Amino acid sequence: MKTCPKCGCEVDDEDQFCKFCGAPLTDLQSKQEIRQMEHVKIILMLILFLCIVLGCYYLWQGGH
């Protein structure tokens, strides 16, 4: 089940239009994929930041 972006009602996965408000649902899949990719990018950026911070800490500790 997915939800209508306009009214928030649950609709069947194969529906092209919302049964309740008539809004088109064709863009819904691509918007969900975009959101998932944004989450992946954020997670990768956090991992990169953590690696940089840990690398700097390791280098700083090794210098003393």
- Backbone φ and ψ of 26, nearest 5°: -65, -35
Each residue's pLDDT tens digit, 5-50: 889 899 888 888 899 999 888 765 677 777 888 999 999 999 999 9
**HEC secondary structure over 18-59:** CCCCCCECCCHHHHHHHHHHHHHHHHHHHHHHHHHHHHHHHH
Record the pTM. 0.50
